[in-house]
A = this chain, B = another copy of it.
Amino acid sequence: MKSEDIAKLAGVSRSTVSRVVNNYPNVPTDTKEKVMNIIKEYNYSPNTYARTLAGKKSNTIGLFLIIEGDFGENNRIYMNDFFGAYLDLLLDYASIKDYYVLVSIISSESKYQKIQQAFLEKRIDAGVIIGTQLDTLKKIHMDTITSSVVLFDYDLTDKDRVFTKDSHISTINSNDYEGIKDAVRHLYSKGHRSIGFIKGRELSRSGHIRYEAYLSAMSELDLDVNADHIIEGEFDIGIAYANTQKMLKDCEIKPTAIISANDFMALAAIDAIHEANLDVPGDISIIGFDNTLHGQISDPKLTTIGPDFKIMAQKAIDILDKQIQGIYPSQEVNYEVNFYERDTCQSITLEE
């Protein structure tokens, strides 16, 4: 079934069929109806490839999830509330705005090229990248891409702006810096003076900025940062678990509280703490980041900091949709985060 067949059947020209399909105004109701009936009867849908080639949008958004390093069991998208939540939400909002979405997981060096290719082949009208790291723009040759792109968790530098010359790149971030500082202050107000930190991946904005915020808050409160209480977690459950376990074993003096750069590592740390026959929050208080569902149903329920993924996902689709439709400025938005007090923080009495 192609438009020509429909045209013949309806006794009109292909032009008219096209006008009906695209719902153009200058078609009388009766011929419109006549054509629509044939279309329905024969289940006709215009060939996307033909219509896109003829100048229409593809109505497809590319969604790229960058997960480098071992793509092992624990590193799967669906085991990652951060990626998973975005994927899910983005799919939802894109569908509401009638976009199809092409999803690719970038799990190795060689797959970066897929991103550029998808744009160059014109498969997608615009793209969203999650898991952006410091070197991502260069790796995907962003300078050759002229379509609109939204980056999550990334701060555009002046160099980036020169490199990509265009203003078609938007960023959507959360104010993790203030979030972590609040967390440190919260622990301080509860009497904690020995606060450790589980680090994420330094190459990502969130990994970097959350740690910086911790250091800054500690310094502002005149608290010592004990190097032994800084745990490398790499945003990986397994690594966070192992290194927390190690810290617990090696340190004579344990921290009374630990802030983790994300919920998953916080949950892993709690496991390690339990394993060492210590209690949360009895012996060590814990604060996570992301407000994931897993932290909400864990036992004990995790005190955490969280951005509003929904609003952020919606914003991404919104920007892209408007840019696809026509001229619309790129944006660099930064959403505030909330503090969710649950069951993993306890006041401690200060030893005078």
Contact = CB atoms under 8 A, between A and B. Distances in A.
Interface string A39-70: 00001111111101100001010000000000
Nearest to A98: B114
B77 A45 contact: no
A105 B95 contact: yes
A102 B100 CA distance: 7
Interface of A: 43-50, 52-53, 58, 60, 71, 73-74, 76-81, 83-85, 87-88, 91-92, 95, 100-105, 107, 111, 114, 116-118, 120-123, 141, 144, 271, 274, 293, 297, 299
Nearest to A143: B43
Interface SS, A side: helix
Given A45-B120, A76-B85, 20 more contacts: A47-B53, A48-B121, A48-B122, A49-B52, A60-B102, A76-B88, A76-B293, A77-B87, A77-B88, A77-B91, A78-B78, A78-B80, A78-B85, A79-B293, A91-B105, A95-B104, A95-B105, A101-B104, A271-B299, A274-B299
15 contacts: A43-B116, A43-B120, A47-B122, A49-B49, A49-B58, A49-B122, A77-B78, A78-B81, A78-B87, A78-B88, A91-B105, A92-B105, A95-B114, A271-B299, A274-B299
B102 A101 contact: yes
A100 B118 contact: yes
